[in-house]
Amino acid sequence: MIRTVGTGAWLGAALLALGAAMPAQAGQTVKVGILTDMSGTYSDMGGAGSVAAAQLAIDECLAAECKGMTIELLSADHQNKPDIGTQKAREWADVNKVNAIADLTNSAVALGVQKLAVEHNFVAMFSGPATTKLTNEDCTPNGFHWMFDTYALAAGSAQAITKMGGKSWYFVTVDYAFGHSLEADSAAMVTSLGGTVVGSVRHPLGASDMSSFLLSAQSSQAQVIALANGGGDAINAIKTAREFGIVQSGKQVVPLLIFLSDIRSLGLDVAQGLTFTEGFYWDQDDAARAFSARFQKAFQGRKPTMVQAGTYSSVLHYLRAVAAAKTTEASVVAAKMRQLPITDAVMRHPAIRPDGRVIHDMLLVKVKTPAESKGEWDFYTIQATIPAAEAFRPLASSSCPLVKN
């Protein structure tokens, strides 16, 4: 019998489902799908690396709690299109009988999949999307937001840079749910600390030419040009800012979301001095180094991004919950996931809240100069640790119906 944690009708349903659920024991297949960007703007931060991370989690669990189980891993490219992503998730749930879907990378795709999670009876775990809607108005009992969100990014970068004197801000924002949410949360943080937002401009996802957007930002006279985008868009914007002399002129270009893979693509000559928020860094401690060495061996000699690390953590915790609950019934496993502690090499001081937000320590990092770097992946100096309780939107401010219940 599952011990009840918290309140709400969905937990009651989970308990009732337990009696009829099929046991996840030797002979039964547990199916996990990685729905990600395999070829577009976000493919380096998630993509095939997230599939490799999920396989590491499967192998680890099969050697321990999941011994004797059969676990099948599926993957697909959502192409950053909500209709394609939701269609694939629906097909996986109805035809392939997938029990859990992880990564997602794109906020618009994630919001669509979130709505399917309860209706089609699977668990959804988001390590790539950033929109806070996933654990607010669009929350579900089967959905878990694992690594970062736009509030956490604002609590790190926007707060630190405003306190250091960057008082006037201009946003260059990707024009969909993720960018809108990131700009809104960061702007709110800036104004709460006495700063001002002097303007913003929006660009399409996957913009090949960022020059007009950066020129608008430059002409604003703002001290800080904040990039509310990610992946290839952030890379292109930073390169353009260097080419136009914007960084050299004394303006601070702040990528509100950027990844280890992006810094590698940019090179330290271009990326040096950038300050931003990270959820995981391969060199932060011994446990992170050990996990990252395993990942590097498994995936093209690369260190993991925080999305890939989050995919590993979420899939491992899900599988442990399946093993403990002895069922793949989504509502029961989701309840067990909230009950079990998260213990892995990725998360520091983690906990799962009733709204599905996985809180954990975040890091404020600064990119090293080429002279400071001691190796191929030695990119960051950790400036500060943001405690889990401070890094994410307070539960009291949540608009998630599960919290209200």
Q: How high is the pLDDT of residue 101? A: 98
- Largest Cα separation within the chain, whole Å, is 66
Place of tokens 């960022």: 210
- Phi, psi values for residue 129, rounded to 5°: -70, 160
**Identity of the residue numbered 178:** F
Angle, alpha carbons 330-332-338 (nearest 5°): 100
> Taking each helix axis from N to C terminus, what angle separates 9-20 and 330-339, rounded to the nearest 10 degrees?
120
Q: How high is the pLDDT of residue 248? A: 82
**Identity of the residue numbered 358:** V
245 Cβ partners below 8 Å, 6+ apart?
none
pTM: 0.90
Provide the token pair at 229.
Answer: 């985008």
User: Residue 352 in 3-state DSSP?
Assistant: strand
pLDDT in tens, the chain (405 residues): 222 223 333 333 333 343 334 445 555 689 999 999 999 999 999 999 999 999 999 999 999 999 999 999 999 999 999 999 999 999 999 999 999 999 999 999 999 999 999 999 999 999 999 999 999 999 999 999 999 999 999 989 999 999 999 999 999 999 998 999 999 999 999 999 999 999 999 999 999 899 999 999 999 989 999 999 998 999 999 999 999 999 888 889 999 999 999 999 999 999 999 999 999 999 999 999 999 999 999 999 999 999 999 999 999 999 999 999 999 999 999 999 999 999 999 999 999 999 999 999 999 999 999 999 999 999 999 999 999 999 999 999 999 999 976
Q: How high is the pLDDT of residue 214? A: 95
Place of tokens 């996985």: 358
Rounded CA-CA distance 225/203 in Å is 14
Identify each DSSP E strand in 204-242 by its residue range: 224-228
Q: How high is the pLDDT of residue 8? A: 35
Candidates 210, 215, 234; CA nearest to 170 is 215
> Taking each helix axis from N to C terminus, what angle separates 306-325 and 330-339, rounded to the nearest 10 degrees?
110
Rounded CA-CA distance 383/366 in Å is 7
Do 176 and 80 contact (CB within 8 A), yes or no? no
For CA atoms 205, 209, 210, 213, the dihedral sign is negative
Angle, alpha carbons 100-185-101 (nearest 5°): 5
Query: In angstroms, how far is the first alpha carbon of the chain from the final one?
Result: 23
User: Which residues pair with residue 382 across a beta bridge?
Assistant: 365
Do 202 and 182 contact (CB within 8 A), yes or no? no
Provide the token pair at 93.
Answer: 């749930």
Rounded CA-CA distance 232/255 in Å is 12
Q: How high is the pLDDT of residue 27? A: 58
Q: How high is the pLDDT of residue 14? A: 39
Candidates 148, 144, 108; CA nearest to 314 is 144
DSSP one-letter string for 103-158: E---HHHHHHHHHHHHHTT-EEEESS---GGGGTTT--TTEEE-S--HHHHIIIII
